[in-house]
Amino acid sequence: MIEFVTFYLIPGLVLGSIYALAAAGVSLVYGVMRFAHFAHGDLMTWGAYAALVAVGVLGVSPWLAIPVAVLATIPVALAADRAFYAPLRRSAPAVLLISSFGVALMIRALVYLIWGPTPESYARGFTPPLFLGEIRIQQRHLFILGGALAAALAVHLLLSHSRAGRAMRAMADDPDLARVTGVPVAGVIRLTWAVSAGLAAIAGVFLAIDTELTPLLGFNVLLAAFAAAILGGIGRPWGAALGGLILGLAEELSSYPWIGTAPLLDPSYKTAVAFAVLILVLIFRPQGLFKGMG
């Protein structure tokens, strides 16, 4: 039981928390602007590298560099919207989707140009784990879980208890009606990009802390983020967050030796779980756990 909690359950919750933040950002963009933003993963990467700059230049910990990552990522998302998405706003969703591929490639090329292809790390020496009885937990995992919970709570308060959040929800529920009733569409779109980019930056930093920094950091989890968003109900941020938690747990628990002593699924194939979940959801419940948008 101790081994299960330490090596499978806790890592699953940590991975699920990162997926939850990434999926919530994807879901917000889809809910308000009705297109799948495939550059979201590269915004995660950009935020993670911005935090690396703050760690190196300011000498702060990666946790304190998170605000820098957020502030560095939001302008990139807003600039991409103004330059590439806004002129195509009335185009078919497929056109915007394809343009987001182009934006992703441009951001990734900038990352390669500025920081190069060599993996980087925030690590500064060894941090001993904490022991809760016989359960061992890495300190970074506690911070990631706490940070993800705080970010999720902040988004919930924004969407549920602020005028701007109500405008975002109105746009997500019925864009035409929202326009007619005087919702400031341009402002809502800017706020959506800011919140989505902020969540992407936080998820990117958390992922880099838990693994390492590479130019493909965010791209490697993009499919899982979309699978989580679809699982929870595309366009529903809370559903996407729940989908992320479920998917992260499913990936980690899939390699637990549930039958006999051998892993149920070889750890090198854990990422295939996201593909499997995505396909099964699309076949049997395309609307997701919560009824997503068409």
What pLDDT was estimated at residue 292?
Answer: 58
Give phi and psi for 47, each to the nearest 5: -60, -40
Indicate the pTM of the whole model. Answer: 0.93
Cβ–Cβ contacts within 10 Å for residue 263, how many? 16
Distance, CA of 142 to chain centre: 18
pLDDT, residue 287, reads 80
CB 84 within 8 A of CB 102: yes
In three-state secondary structure terms, 233 is coil
Q: How many CA atoms lie within 13 A of 223 on its CB side?
A: 12
Structure confidence by residue, pLDDT tens digits, 182-210: 888 889 999 999 999 999 999 999 999 99
Length of the chain: 294
Neighbours of 199 (CB within 10 A): 32
Position 126 scores a pLDDT of 65
Which domains are delineated in the chain? Answer: 2-121+133-284 (1.10.3470)
Tokens of 198: 């902020």
Residue 124 has pLDDT above 70, yes or no: no
Q: What is the pLDDT of residues 23-66, one digit of tens each?
A: 999 999 998 998 999 999 999 999 999 999 999 999 899 999 99
| Distances from the Cα of 116 to the Cα of 104, 109, 119, 163, 274, angstroms | 16, 9, 8, 42, 29
Give the helix/strand (H/E) hosting 130: strand 130-132
Q: What is the pLDDT of residues 248-285, one digit of tens each?
A: 999 998 888 888 777 877 777 887 887 788 788 888 88
